[in-house]
Amino acid sequence: MSGQEPFIAAVKPLVDAIGGELLPPDEAGPDDVVLAWDGVDAVGVRLPQLADSLDHILAAMERRRGMPLADLDRRAKQEVVRVLEARGAFAVRHGVETVASALGVSRFTVYNYLNREKEG
């Protein structure tokens, strides 16, 4: 069992980044992912709901930029929307509203940013 700790430590930042949860493999449910190491189940990963993932992604973007997304200039907000669209953020129910709130803009503005990308 002790050989698995480095593996678990290695995957923890990824699981944290997506807003997941580590759990013992024998507690994993049918919707969880069990990761094996050297042929032995090492750890279960409970994936977040998509809406929770979006909140987690937005929080990580704020941490990376060192400021609230609402404080960014227009060009930086457009870049955030571009990145989020590439990550599927707008396929999530209420994704546009969630992003608009985080950016401190209207839904209409987010749609304009999205349409600008499609035209350009």
DSSP secondary structure letters along 64-88: HHTS-GGGS-HHHHHHHHHHHHHTT
Q: What is the pLDDT of residues 8-61, one digit of tens each?
A: 999 999 998 778 899 999 999 998 999 999 999 999 999 877 667 788 889 989
**Which band of pLDDT confidence, cut at 50, 70 and 90, is reported for residue 118?**
low
Q: What is the pLDDT of residues 68-87, one digit of tens each?
A: 999 999 999 999 999 999 98
Instruction: Give pTM, 2 decimals.
Output: 0.63
The count of residues in the chain is 120
pLDDT for residue 117 = 65
DSSP secondary structure letters along the chain: -GGGHHHHHHHHHHHHHTT-EEE-GGG--TTSEEEEETTEEEEEEEPPPHHHHHHHHHHHHHHHHTS-GGGS-HHHHHHHHHHHHHTTGGGSTTHHHHHHHHHTS-HHHHHHHHHHHHH-
**Which band of pLDDT confidence, cut at 50, 70 and 90, is reported for residue 119?**
low
